Structure formats: structure tokens, C-alpha cells
Amino acid sequence: MNYPVWQVAFGSGWLIAVVATLHVFVSHFAIGGGLFLVLLEGSAHRHDDEALRAWLKRHSRFFLLLTLVFGALTGVGIWFTIGLISPEATGRLIRIFVWGWAIEWVFFLVEILAILVYYYAWDRMETLTHRAVGWTYFGAAWASLAVINGILAFQLSPGAWLQDRSLLSAFFNPTYFSSLAVRTLVCLALAGLYALASLAFTRNGLRPDLVKKSAVWVAAPVLLLPAAAWWYLRTVPALQKTALTEVFYLPHLARTVMVSVSLLFLLAAVAWFSRSKWILRPLSVLMLLLGFAALAFSEWTREDLRMPFLIAGDTYINQVPVARLAELRAKGILATSPWVSAAAVTPQNQRRVGEELFRLACSHCHTVRKGLIPLAPKMVAVDETFAANLALRTDQMRGRMPPFPGTAEEARAIAHYLRLSAMPVPQPGDGASVFRRRCGPCHTVSGAFRPLAKSLKGMAESELSDLVQNLDSMNDKMPPWTGTNAERGALCAWLAGQVKASPVGGAP
């Protein structure tokens, strides 16, 4: 909590996601596209194919503009946004990988110089020298990926670094090689996708041989991707992998990626046979969109696997270093943060301070009313004590949140502020709704997330009622029951029926 928070209206997570996905889409193309250019230039040279050379020259102009201008701008954009949104974690990444960044920037410089020379010297250099420049470009571009990949993979799986703090452990972490394999395949497939689009929209006649070649550039890596993705998932730490079953949308996301990748393969086969620009034009655009979707969703999945951390095991997404958590919980956020307006919660400042605390502790993943997982509507649905108890137990709820980094008064201030930020709407009193409000944040009946059916199996409604009345005496992770008697009655009647009907439940 050493820094002020930049609160983005629609959720800061979205902003990073948009900038980063655009950058990844272009920067991976910048690598595969480089290889595509030099290899095809070699082929043009061997077959003395002037038309191919001319097309490659035009393609390399598009390539230069897209990768240098758009790629470099969005790259700087990432630094800008993560520096503002996650200053603590960005600072840590810079410090841990000082030499990594330095090396990456050297590669990046070589990459920029090489592509400029490559483009401007098409007709002024001997083919062999020109191709050497092209290879230099590709080598430097891939090497800069190999470096950045180490840092990105580290955030998800810091592995032995958490104990030994060595740069090598941090860099060659458990997901380093598998994610490098996935990313390299993505680079190659993107080269094919952009080439198809470039061929389809060129003013000259269509070259079926080049279309076929580009289609293979898409299809071959796409065919290998599932194996690489499987390897990647195997290397993801077990703790992070539980999200794939517990976070309800992640399996859908993973399936969306698989479907778009399979579709890409099929469409690449269609492209292989295409002889007309009028087919290839919409087809190549569709394929680019699919490629973009697959990439965006896989990056999203990877980021979500890492929750609630920015650097797994080291820094939470709300900028709380794991090492400082105990101190923050004991002394409070207000007492330990330089950028707040009060040193303690009082009845007078509760609302204003609650807003500041929300911004510091929750706004990285939540909005207040509209946008990314708005919290105010959830908080007005229950009484303030229960809402405060939920805020204090963020790490027990679904959603893989960081532990609450402050005191009970501070959690109450957040709940107070949030409850004042939405209009109360009448809450249905049926058992299912009561369960959703008062147990649902932390339990399912018989789903994947902390299911209850097994332990409630065979309990009578009256026993259930006693249990609910004394929840907090069972363990301190659960908030005490603060609902009405009518709510409790409805809940227990409904719960008894559900447990009975669930496969693990039934009569004893």
C-alpha cells in the first residue's frame, strides 16, 4: 500500500488486458513474420522469382509499420499502464530482473535497427547480406521473446525463486520452456495469418503457391498447439491449476480457445484450396479474428490462473506484498499507507475512508456499481454486519481473492461505503436466494467449490437450523449467522431438500 491507486472507471484489469492483448497479437507476429520473410526471400532467390521478391518487399513495408510503430507503441503502453496500475509489483519485477530487462532492451534495439536496414536496403544490398540482416532481425526478435517469456512465466510460477531468490531460478522457472514453446508456435501461426491477409488484399493477382504456403504456416503450428498447451498446463503449479475447476468461467474459456484453434485449422485447409481473392478476403479476416480471439482468451486464462497474485506467492494483485500481510492485518491499512486521508476509521469518516480502502484493497478486481464484478449490489443484498464479515474473509470466498489486508474496522468501513453506493432492492426470501446470498460466496451444495452436501448428508431440518445458528462456532472462517429467523427457516428447508436430492446426499 505504498502507492496511490489509479482507479479506472471500467476496471483497471480491463485496461491492462486490452493494451496487452493488442501488443501480444502484433509482437508475436513481429517474430514469426520475420522468419517468414527471410525464408521466402531465400526461396525467391533460389528460384529467381522476381514477383515473389516484389511481394515480399511490399509485405515487409506493412510488416515494418505494424511491428515498429504499433508494436513499439503498445509495448510502451504496457509499461505505462502496469506502472500506474501495479506500481508495487512492477517495481519488484524491475528489481528482480534488472539484467533481464537490460538484455531484452539490447535485443529490442538490434531488432529495430535490423528491420529498418532490412526494409530500406531491399534493392541496395546483395541478397546474401540482406538475408543475413533478416536473420539477425528474427534472431533478436525471438531472443527478446525468450527473455520476456521468462519474466511473464515467473509471475505465474516463480518456483524455486521463492526460496533461493536466485535470478536463474526466477528466469528458468517451471513454466518457462513450455510457455516458450506455446508462444513460438503462436508466432509462426500468426505469420501465416497475416501473410494470408496480405496476399488476399494485394492489388496484384493471387499467387496460389504462396496462399498454400501461408496456409501451411497457419495449419502446422496450430496442429502442434494442443500438445504444447497440454505440456504447459502440466507445468502450471497445482495451486494455480485448481482455478480451472473452481472458477466457473475458466473451463468455458479454455473450451473457447480449443474451439477457435480447431476452427482455425479447418479454415486454413479451406484457404489452401482458395483460388479467388473474393473467397480469401473474408476468409483471411475471419481467420485473423479467430486467431485474435484464441490469443486473447488464452492470455486471459493465463492471467486468471495467477489470481490472486501478480507474482505468485510474492505480491498480491492489490499490491500487497505477501511478506507484509501480517503487519497490515495487525496495524491496519490506514496506519501503514502514506496516501490516505485519515489514520483510523471513525464513525464520522467511515464512508469516505471506506471508499479509499475499497480503492486500495479491492478496486484492482472490482468496480463499485457497474463494470468489472461490481460489489455494491452484493453488499446491499445483506445486512451490514454480514457484508463486513464477507469483506474480512475475501480469501475464503470463491473468486480467488487476496486475504483482506486490514483490520475488522477497515473491512466494516468498506462494507459501509459499498452499501451506501447502491439502491437496496427487495431480496427474495426463498431458500435458494438466501443460500446464494449467505452461503453461496463460499459454498456450493454439490458443485466444485467447497460443496456442503457430503457433510450435511442425513441431517434433519432442525439439526440444520442449529448448525446455521452456530456457524461461527464451527470455525472462524465462517461469519456468524446474522439473517432473520424466516430466512433461516427457508434456507434450511431448501438445503435439506437439495442435500437429499444430490448424488452424495440421500438418506443415511
Binding site for ligand HEC (CB under 6 A): 248, 307-308, 317-318, 361-362, 364-366, 373, 375, 378, 390-391, 393-394, 396-399, 401-402, 404, 414, 438-443, 452, 455-456, 467-468, 471, 474-475, 477-479
Alpha carbon of residue 508 to chain centroid = 44
Residue number with CB closer to ligand HEC (53 or 329): 329
Q: How many CB atoms lie within 10 A of CB 433?
A: 17
**Residues of 103-133 as b/e, b for ≥16 C-beta within 10 angstroms?**
ebeebbebbbebbebbbeebeeeeeeebbeb
Contact status, residue 74 vs residue 23, Cβ threshold 8 Å: yes
Residue number with CB closer to ligand HEC (8 or 187): 8
Q: Is 30 exposed, middle or buried (0-12, 13-18, 19+ CB in 10 A)?
A: buried
Residue number with CB closer to ligand HEC (98 or 373): 373
Amino acid identity of 282? P
Residue number with CB closer to ligand HEC (43 or 336): 336
Spatial distance between the Cα atoms of 38 and 135, rounded to a whole number of angstroms = 7
Q: Provide the minimum distance between the beta carbon of 274 and ligand HEC in the complex, in angstroms, as a whole number.
A: 43
Q: Provide the minimum distance between the beta carbon of 163 and ligand HEC in the complex, in angstroms, as a whole number.
A: 24
Q: Provide the minimum distance between the beta carbon of 3 and ligand HEC in the complex, in angstroms, as a whole number.
A: 15
452: its cell numbers: 456442503
Q: Provide the minimum distance between the beta carbon of 25 and ligand HEC in the complex, in angstroms, as a whole number.
A: 25
Residue number with CB closer to ligand HEC (209 or 466): 466
Non-local (6+) Cβ contacts of 139 within 8 A are none
Cα angle: 135, vertex 139, 145; to 5 degrees = 145
Q: Provide the minimum distance between the beta carbon of 401 and ligand HEC in the complex, in angstroms, as a whole number.
A: 4
Residue number with CB closer to ligand HEC (295 or 362): 362
Backbone angles phi, psi at 120, to 5 degrees: -75, -15
Amino acid identity of 476? D
Q: Is 457 exposed, middle or buried (0-12, 13-18, 19+ CB in 10 A)?
A: middle
Q: How many CB atoms lie within 10 A of CB 162?
A: 16
Contact status, residue 508 vs residue 457, Cβ threshold 8 Å: yes
Residue number with CB closer to ligand HEC (31 or 391): 391
Non-local (6+) Cβ contacts of 16 within 8 A are 78, 81, 82, 85
Residue number with CB closer to ligand HEC (342 or 442): 442
